[in-house]
């Protein structure tokens, strides 16, 4: 069965992958409505409605659902699909070798230097005339996230770095960049159009209309890192850095080491956004020049 799907056209591969995603999503919903209440004593709705409490049990169950969501909805379907899609699955998704240190540094710098651009897009996105129901739903989601990011102890920091930063980085990058992006590129026959569409899908699936545009930019940058380098570990590291930076900033704020609340949006001057764009573009170019041979295109389908 290994590499079985490579013989089929990209459109059928895409439909199959979407089917995997929907199937595993339904399994996760079934778990939340049957198994989870049986051992936790909470339905998913009750858990989210009580998420403003400081009960460690509630916080633990919230983190458990976050972990299982990433594992079931992103990691499992993409890993199974990659196995059926490529004769060498790890090489096919760009996870067969460790990246050079200089490429790791450049990938992290790309994410860090793009922050002003991302912040400017977020500020604009927040001004969209969206229905109040969407804003209320977003407020509830932020409340739940705030509960999970309560870190009174250093152990909470490491748990959150694992559950909120590292595991989602691996699962989402394998799903979106390792599998979906190459399939989209093969379907559209245009590399960067495939990267852009994958970034749009990446943002849309998260269901956050108030963060839709900045997440597209982040998705595009992660996709660009993978498309340029052919190494998925670089996108995973960059994604982990982005998530981990937010977790670390929240911990430092709660511990009193910094005074600025990272959950509050701040105005960013236009010239900082322009500088961010120029520097990030330059870093992407440097990543391209430092990558000896782009390997994203070396899929089994194209070798055949």
Classify 276 as helix, strand or coil: helix
Categorize the per-residue pLDDT at 5 as very low, low, confident or very high, splitting at 50, 70 and 90. Answer: confident
Would you state the pLDDT for residue 53?
Answer: 64
Average pLDDT over residues 280-292: 95
Q: Which domain holds residue 76?
A: 4-303
301 band by pLDDT with thresholds 50, 70 and 90: very low
Confidence of residue 46 (pLDDT cuts 50, 70, 90): confident
User: Rounded distance, CA 68 to CA 71, Å?
Assistant: 5
Name the one residue in this structure whose structure tokens are 């996709």: 223
More confident residue, 82 or 52: 82
Note the pTM of the prediction, 2 decimals. 0.92
* 7 contact partners, CB below 8 Å, separation of at least 6: none
User: Structurally, how many domains does the chain consist of?
Assistant: 1
Q: Which of 63-77, 129-143, 221-235, 278-292 shows the lowest mean pLDDT across its residues? A: 129-143
* Mean pLDDT value across the chain: 91
Quote the pLDDT of residue 25.
Answer: 97
Helix and strand numbers, DSSP H then E, in the chain: 17, 0
In 3D space, the residue among 12, 4, 169 whose CA is nearest the CA of residue 87 turns out to be 4
């Amino acid at each position: 069965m290994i590499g079985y799907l490579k013989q089929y056209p990209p459109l059928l591969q895409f439909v199959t992958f979407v089917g995997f995603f929907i199937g595993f999503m339904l399994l996760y919903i079934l778990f939340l409505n049957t198994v989870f209440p049986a051992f936790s004593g909470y339905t998913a709705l009750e858990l989210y409605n009580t998420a403003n409490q400081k009960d460690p049990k509630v916080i633990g169950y919230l983190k458990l659902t976050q972990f299982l969501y990433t594992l079931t909805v992103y990691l499992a379907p993409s890993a199974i699909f990659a196995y059926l899609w490529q004769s060498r699955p790890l090489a096919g998704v760009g996870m067969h070798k460790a990246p050079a240190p200089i490429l790791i540094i450049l990938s992290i710098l790309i994410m860090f230097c793009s922050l002003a651009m991302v912040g400017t897009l977020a500020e604009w996105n927040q001004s969209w005339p969206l229905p109040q129901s969407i804003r209320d739903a977003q407020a509830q989601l932020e409340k739940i996230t705030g509960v999970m990011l309560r870190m009174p102890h250093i152990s909470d920091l490491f748990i959150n770095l694992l559950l909120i930063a590292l595991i989602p980085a691996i699962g989402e990058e394998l799903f979106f960049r390792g599998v979906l992006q190459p399939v989209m590129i093969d379907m559209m026959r245009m590399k960067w159009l495939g990267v852009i569409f994958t970034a749009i899908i990446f943002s849309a699936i998260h269901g956050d209309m108030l963060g839709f545009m900045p997440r597209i930019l982040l998705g595009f940058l992660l996709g660009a890192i993978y498309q340029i380098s052919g190494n998925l570990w670089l996108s995973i590291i960059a994604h982990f850095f982005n998530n981990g930076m937010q977790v670390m900033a929240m911990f430092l704020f709660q511990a009193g080491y910094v005074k600025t609340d990272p959950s509050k949006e701040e105005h960013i001057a236009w010239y900082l956004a322009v500088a961010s764009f120029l520097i990030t573009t330059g870093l992407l170019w440097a990543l391209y020049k430092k990558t000896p041979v782009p390997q994203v295109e070396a899929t089994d389908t194209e070798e055949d």
